[in-house]
Amino acid sequence: MATSVLLTSLLATLAAAQSLGTTPEVHPKLTTWKCTNKDGCKENKSAIVLDSMAHWIHQKNDTTLGCGNWGSTADPKACSNEQACYNNCVMEGVNNYADQGVSTTGGSLSMTLYGKNGVASPRLYLLAEGEKKYELFKLVGQEFTFDVDVSKLPCGMNGALYMSEMEEKGGEGKLNPGGAAYGTGYCDAQCYVTPWVNGLGNIKGEGICCNELDIWEANARATQLAPHTCSKPGLYRCVGDECTKTGVCDKNGCGNNPYGNGEKTYYGLGKDFKVDTSKPFTVVTQFPKNEAGELTSIVRKYVQGGKVFENAAVNVTGAFDDAYCTKQNAATFMNLGAMKGMGQSLDRGMVLAFSIWWDEGGFMNWLDSGNAGPCNATEGDPKVVTKVEPAPAVVFSAIKWGEIGSTFMAAKKHVHWGRDE
């Protein structure tokens, strides 16, 4: 769910390209940490890159023309075949990320909905040291931790941190020289059609599918954790019925939402909630495995004010595992691989993505309204959102991953569902 309206509403006139222009790409630096229980956490010199479709794209011989529209094939006049796309289409670098609503300081990443020219709704990926490849996360038997500030995300907003089974080099090759360094190669479980597939011209109008793990989709009022499995490994080009809800990928996912699980005062804005979203907090996600090395469940913890909070209603719903997903009627997730399948994707490696967006069509009701959260059906209307918060923003920081127990300080006091100990 992390990209549905973000892409359709903002990228309608943009496209990626293969040949590179004269404007250089200048990535904001972001410190991250890899951790072990023995040696603690050591710094990485990471960086971030905007999705290729947020770059300026123009035809080589006419800078007023693009090379394709969202939801369709590459422009057939410019892209009769993949080679023609490379010859005719140019992607410029981004040398001022602040214009796109993005800034970094040390280990902190700030994203605002608005950029220099209005709504930017940026989507970013984490680059490994050297800035030529994506950081590839293999998290089975590991944990992933970050701090987040969602206080400027009212009803209807979504500040997302998630993973997709993109290729490490972003499809870099002869006809896609930019690769990961220019944000190419995106895919997710929604199987959208875009003008480009892994940086190559999408001549046949195929959907772009891959496993997706929504570690964090949230605003100040509600949050959801949701794995989305696919029956095909890696980036897969779908056609016809394969791209639909009954196709190769689980579009809805198996969702775990505190409010939806019946814990109405667990997560929310103010001191009356266990996790107070008016202040920053730490999100810990663990991926335990069995003796066969297979992912068995996903464990969520929060840290705030010196306390470690176990996931909401864990004593009522049990672990976030296949049994939980079966009870949630997540049949597609179960049929397309379940936790084992999600773990296999994590074993192959997934790329970390960040986004901030609003939902012009559905007002983000699936995340924070009805059974999912306390917002009413129209609070997520962008016209209402901007009255509540003129400058929606999210801050992600202190991104760490490594052995279970190594990425956060286990506080002396744990808070479980309904009791302290």
Query: 212 an active-site residue?
Result: yes
- Choice among 82, 212, 263, 360 that is catalytic: 212
* Cα gap 302→298, rounded to integer Å: 14
Query: 168 an active-site residue?
Result: no
- Choice among 217, 242, 360, 389 that is catalytic: 217
Residues with a catalytic annotation lie at: 212, 217
